[in-house]
Structure 1
């Protein structure tokens, strides 16, 4: 995933936020029960090797979606990454009670090493943190640290790989495997029930400020839809799309997430696109549950979004321009 697209997506919509908590709150938040004999565990990632000697009880989730992966395994982190966007993390529907007790904040666009250290973690998880190797080295001096796998670029690990890596680190690998199997089964059911998705080209685009950009096929948000059978167009992954090049959005389905600044849907050139004229645009606001769930792209948010988006996608590809795409709830 390109760094430009991460920053723009975060600024317009989605990812983590939190309120600072007391030390007592943090202490009670990290209790975990790992599988017998799971430790010690050694994990080698893109930057180094972490040896986790015993079940972690104070987990710092410093990645932009990391909190959900930890929560899916029954663990509440003592520290999390702050939000850069408009989505209200405190009331995200797929993770009720996620921030009770309240975890400490450890930075937004950049991770604060001081704040991480102050949370006294015994494990730092940052598979989706985008930290560089230098920062990783400093974090590893605070506590065992796990980032993206060797074969994945920063921010590029698929959600299921992230889930399994998190499960290993927490001594809950078997549970993580069950979660992955369950979520994948739901997607398989959706593909079976909607064979018309297969082979259709779908673009995820963001309207942020005055800019419009689309996501490449290595972006977690785009992968959500390829997991349903859609294909990523060859011209996806455009950094700055001018009005004269809006044709790069003109494919079978367009998922448009907007902050409302430019009002692209009112642009005459946009209205001329076939995807717009035939009602095959799924448009949502940056602060919506839809955008938030797509941004987290976690084992908790993926099933939630699946229930929201499948009816919209079915309406968009049914071949009838008169069919209106239902609004997500």
Structure 2
């Protein structure tokens, strides 16, 4: 931020420069009788700029192509990388998926490793040190108080609406606007949607099957069936599955609600889940119609959680054989 002392010094320099320019013009007029040279035109704006983006806390105008981007959303770095930019700061997402371990994004990471700017909490001091010219928080779940502080550091783009989550398509387009690359963003969306369409066409057994996407915390007792609005559940409905109507928190006594056409278990392996006698007796389990994705740090769960134009094709490559086996089980 500009201090009062710096602003005063800048005013002194501006006044001095104006006086000098006036004196020079007078000398030229006296000596040659000509007119002073015209002031140079302001440099033209870069293509696509300025751009104004509306979000939950108002609207943000970005004047020039950003060069120092802080990707504050938990998955934001992938979207920036997918559009050819390198973030200088990123938010922790899952500990096992730093910049050197995300296989789906490795080729796009051509710059120095970005600095960490927080995990559950935002590190405002670190962000300020990075001197960003854009802060992207489309998937940050920031609050008004966060935005008020961040927007003093740099133009800040928050989530589209308070209490909502942007789809990966929306997030791609918003990021494309902010970077001045809306056409590239549309191409990315079309490319990834094309991958899902190809996968659906190649696996007609997915169409219309009811799927439960079960979030397990292993032995801690917590369990949850994802709603259809969850981005992870949408991965499967985009392939033609129908999300289970039985969603929300679930106890072991109610595991019968998981007995749908297909069951996907996120966060636990088969051995852990089969230790529960109620779970082990489900038809969807006994008949081999269950896909265990493993711990949350598994490659598939990381790619699914990032939910980006880079990670989703990678998640498809991993999941399609497993889902095919589950839907084609006798």
* TM-score, normalization by structure 1: 0.81
For 2:293, which of 280, 284, 291 is the aligned residue?
Answer: 284
Is 1:157 aligned with 2:166?
Answer: yes
In the other structure, the counterpart of 2:51 is 41
What is the aligned residue count?
A: 282
In the other structure, the counterpart of 1:136 is 147
| Higher mean displacement: 113-122 or 206-215 | 206-215
How far is 1:89 from its partner?
5.1
Is 1:229 aligned with 2:275?
Answer: no
Change (3 A) 1:138 1:90: same
Higher share in helix: 2
**For residues 33-182 of structure 1, what are the structure 2 equivalents within 5 Å?**
37-87=47-97, 90-96=100-106, 98=109, 100-150=111-161, 153-154=163-164, 156-182=165-191
**Separation in 1, partners of 2:83, 2:316:** 20
In the other structure, the counterpart of 1:22 is none
Change (3 A) 1:153 1:244: same
* TM-score, normalization by structure 2: 0.81
Change (3 A) 1:100 1:268: farther
In the other structure, the counterpart of 2:202 is 193
**Separation in 2, partners of 1:261, 1:111:** 36
**Separation in 2, partners of 1:247, 1:140:** 49
**For residues 306-321 of structure 1, what are the structure 2 equivalents within 5 Å?**
306-320=316-330
Contact 2:55–2:160 under 8 Å retained in 1: yes
How far is 1:146 from its partner?
0.9
By relative contact order (CA 8 Å, sep 6+), the higher-ranking structure is 1
Unaligned runs of 5+ in 1: 1-34, 321-329
**Separation in 1, partners of 2:216, 2:149:** 36
**For residues 234-253 of structure 1, what are the structure 2 equivalents within 5 Å?**
234-236=245-247, 238-239=248-249, 241-253=250-262
Unaligned runs of 5+ in 2: 1-44
Give 1 or 2 for the bigger CA radius of gyration.
2
**Separation in 1, partners of 2:88, 2:150:** 16
